[in-house]
Chains A and B, each alone.
Chain A
Amino acid sequence: MMSEARGSSVKIPDDVRIVAFLCNWCSYAGADLAGVSRMQYPPNVVGIRVMCTATVSPYHVLKALQMGADGVLIAGCHIGDCHYLKGNYMTYKRYLILREILRFAGINEKRVRLEWISAAEGEKFAEVIRSFTEEVREAGLSPLRKNEVIKSEFGEKLKNAFRSLEVVK
C-alpha cells in the first residue's frame, strides 16, 4: 500500500495533494460510480483501495501527512452497513482520537476527514472530494512539506521555536 502511494505519478505542482483511503465495498465502488457517471471532481486525489476502513491505522494517516500529503480522506461504508459488520466502528473511534492528537500537535485537524460513502452515492463522492479539496486549499500547503517549509511563513516560526528552545535548554 505504501509503495503504491509513493510510486504514484500524479504530480500537481502548487496545488494540494490529497490521499484517499477508500473501502473496497462501498466508497471505492462509489468512486467508480462517480467515474462511470462522468461526474466532475478535482484531480488532486490519489485513491488507495483498502478492504475496510478499519485496516487504515492512524499510522497510515500520519505517514501520509509525513510524506507531504496536504489532506487525508478516509471513506467507508455507512455505520451499520460495514461488510465486516463493525469495522467502521473502530475507524470512527480511532479517527476521533487521531483528530484531537493532530490538533494538539498543531496540525490542522481539517486536513483529515472521515466520510461514509455507499456504493450508490457517486454524487456524494464527487461532492465530498470537491468540498474537501476546497477545505484543504483553505488550510494551505502542509507545513510538513519539507522542501517548501523553509521559505514559507511557517519556516520563520520554526526558526523562532528552535531559538527559544536553545535558550531554555
Chain B
Amino acid sequence: MSIREKARQLFAEGVDGVLAFKRTDGVCIPHLFTKTEVEEICKDVPADQRYPVAGIVRRIFLSGLAGKIGVVARGCDERALIELGKQGQIDFDLLSIIGVACSEEQARYCECSKPYPSRIDVGSRFEGISVSEKVRAVESMEGDERLAYWLAQFASCLKCMGCRNICPVCYCVECSLEDENLVRRGSVPPDWPVFHLLRAVDMASRCIDCGLCEESCPSGIPLRTLYKKATEIVKELFDYEPGADMTQRSPLGTIGDQSELPGGAFEA
C-alpha cells in the first residue's frame, strides 16, 4: 500500500489532516495535507531524508489546530510521538500513524535497535541492530583518552543549538543551555564539556534515538553515540525505554509517593 492510498483511507475514516511529504523543487518536505490535496501526497517516503516529524506534530498541537491527524512516521518518529504523548505535549489518541519501516541500509547507518513502527504500512521490516559498535568503540578507550576524545570533539562546537532545535523531545520553554549561570554567554566553543553533558543528562530517559541531532550538527560531533549511551544507562538501571509504549513511566518523571528506586537499592 502506498502512503497516498493509506491517506485516502484515513480521510474516509474522518481524519482532518495528514502530515505527509510533498515534492517541491525535487525535494520531499513535510506538509500537512487536507482532504482536497490528497493527490499531491508523495507516494513514497524520501529514503535518506529524515525530518523531526514529532516536533512538527507538537507545533501543530501548540498552534491549536488540534484535530484528528494522520502522521507518516518511521520507528523513531513513533517513539518520539509516544514520548511526547506521555509527557502531555500532544494528544496521542488523536493521531493515526501511517507506519513506515526503514530500509536495512538506513537501519545499519543509524545502528537503530527498532527501525520500524508498531504497525507497518509501507516497506518491509528489518530487525534492528542491538549492539552499537560506535558506543563500544568509545567505551573501549582508556578513561583519560576518552575524555580527550570527547573534549576534542566538543571543542569544534559552534553553539548553533541545532541539536536542541531539531530534537523532537526537547520542548522546554526555558532551556538550561541558555542559562547564563550554567553556560557562559559569548564564547565559542561553549564551555565544554558542560554544555554537551547537560544535554546528555537531559537525554537520559528521554532520547528516542532518532539521530537528527548528529545529522544537523555542522561540526559532526558524534552526539548520537553520547545519547545512545545515556539511553543504555537508563535501560540498564531502571529497565525503561523511552517511547517503547504508553504505559511505562519514566523513572525521572515520577515524583512524590510514586517514586521508586531501582530494584534492590537500600533494601535491608
Q: What residues make up the interface of A, taking CB atoms closer than 8 Å to B?
A: 2, 58-59, 62-63, 65-66, 79, 85-86, 89-90, 92-94, 96-98, 100-108, 143-144, 154, 157-158, 160-162, 164-165, 169
Number of residue pairs A-B, CB distance < 8 angstroms: 116
User: By the criterion CB–CB under 8 Å, are B233 and A100 in contact?
Assistant: yes
Grouping DSSP codes into helix (H, G, I), strand (E, B) and loop, the B interface class, with mixed when no group exceeds half, is helix
Given known A-B contacts A2-B181, A97-B237, A104 and B226 have beta carbons under 8 A apart:
yes
Interface members, chain B 198-253 (any A CB < 8 Å):
198, 200-201, 204-205, 220, 226, 229-230, 233-234, 237-238, 251-252
Interchain nearest-CB distance for A151 vs B (Å): 15
In this complex, which of B146, B197, B220, B266 has the most chain A Cβ atoms within 10 angstroms of its Cβ? Answer: B197
Q: Tell me if B124 is interfacial: C-beta within 8 Å of chain A.
A: no
How many angstroms between the C-alpha atoms of A58 and B138 in the bound complex?
22
Jot down 20 A-B pairs with beta carbons below 8 A, ordered by A.
A58-B198, A62-B201, A63-B182, A79-B261, A86-B256, A86-B257, A89-B260, A90-B259, A93-B252, A94-B252, A97-B234, A102-B197, A106-B143, A108-B143, A154-B144, A157-B144, A157-B148, A161-B151, A162-B155, A165-B152
User: By the criterion CB–CB under 8 Å, are A105 and B197 in contact?
Assistant: yes
By size class, the interface of chain B is: 35 or more
- Assuming A101-B204, A144-B193, what are 20 further A-B pairs, CB within 8 angstroms? A58-B198, A63-B194, A65-B194, A66-B193, A85-B256, A89-B259, A90-B255, A93-B261, A96-B237, A97-B205, A98-B201, A100-B233, A100-B237, A105-B193, A105-B226, A106-B141, A106-B150, A143-B144, A154-B144, A162-B152
Among A66, A85, A160, A161, which residue has its beta carbon within 8 angstroms of that of B194?
Answer: A66
Interchain nearest-CB distance for A74 vs B (Å): 14
